[in-house]
């Protein structure tokens, strides 16, 4: 039978424990999960693309069937390149729904064959976001409870 492939897209600046939980759950539903790290030249990032990819690889190293790839351009084009049947995204709260449903509508118009699957965040991680981690880190707060160990180490030892 054909492998069922999903893409978990994001900026992952940095990857958080919330992301890892969604990726882990996606890996139970699909044979292969490609974590797609968006290069997005329009956004300014705390970490460069190579670091975001490397930290995502370290964070997902123990999850079978997961690999990490950088992508630029349209998410649906990347999904088609990866032969993915679905995009998997996490929803933390009602404010995520508005933005995500708009992106879902556009992606569905661009590529009707690529389904979007939303997984609701577990309550323990529903308040965790990369932007909050960046903000706390900027203020020298400890972020280790929100991020994988490799990310915490990287943030403690800036380059």
* 38 touches ligand PNS (CB under 6 A): yes
Which residues is 7 bridged to in the sheet?
34, 87
Window 96 to 125, contacts with ligand PNS (CB under 6 A)? 103, 106-107
Q: How far is the CB of 73 from ligand PNS (least distance, A)?
A: 7
Q: 11, 52, 89, 130: which is the annotated catalytic residue?
A: 130
Q: Is 24 an active-site residue?
A: no
Contacts of 123 (CB under 8 A, 6+ apart): none
Closest distance to ligand PNS from the beta carbon of 35 (Å): 11
Give residues 40-79 in contact with ligand PNS (rule: CB under 6 A).
74-75
Q: Is 148 in the site for ligand PNS (CB under 6 A)?
A: no
Contacts with ligand PNS: how many residues (CB under 6 A)? 9
Q: Which residues contact 24 (CB under 8 A, 6 or more apart)?
A: 63
Of the candidate spans 5-13, 24-32, 116-124, 147-155, the one that interacts with ligand PNS by CB under 6 A turns out to be: 5-13
Residue 19: active-site member: yes
Nearer to ligand PNS, 8 or 155 (CB): 8
Residue numbers of the site for ligand PNS (CB under 6 A)?
A: 9-11, 38, 74-75, 103, 106-107
């Amino acid at each position: 039978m054909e492998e069922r492939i999903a893409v978990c897209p994001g900026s992952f600046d940095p990857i958080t424990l919330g992301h890892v939980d969604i990726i882990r759950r996606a890996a139970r539903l699909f044979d292969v999960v490609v974590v797609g790290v968006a290069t997005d030249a329009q956004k300014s990032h705390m970490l460069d693309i190579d670091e975001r990819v490397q930290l995502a690889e370290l964070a997902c190293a123990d999850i079978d069937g997961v690999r990490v790839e950088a992508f630029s351009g349209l998410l649906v084009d990347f999904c088609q390149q990866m032969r993915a049947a679905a995009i998997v995204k996490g929803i933390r709260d009602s404010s995520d729904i508005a933005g995500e449903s708009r992106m879902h509508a556009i992606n569905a118009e661009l590529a009707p064959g690529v389904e979007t699957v939303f997984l609701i965040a577990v309550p323990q991680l529903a308040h965790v976001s990369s932007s909050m981690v960046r903000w706390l880190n900027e203020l020298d707060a400890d972020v280790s409870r929100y991020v994988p160990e490799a990310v915490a180490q990287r943030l403690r030892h800036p380059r």
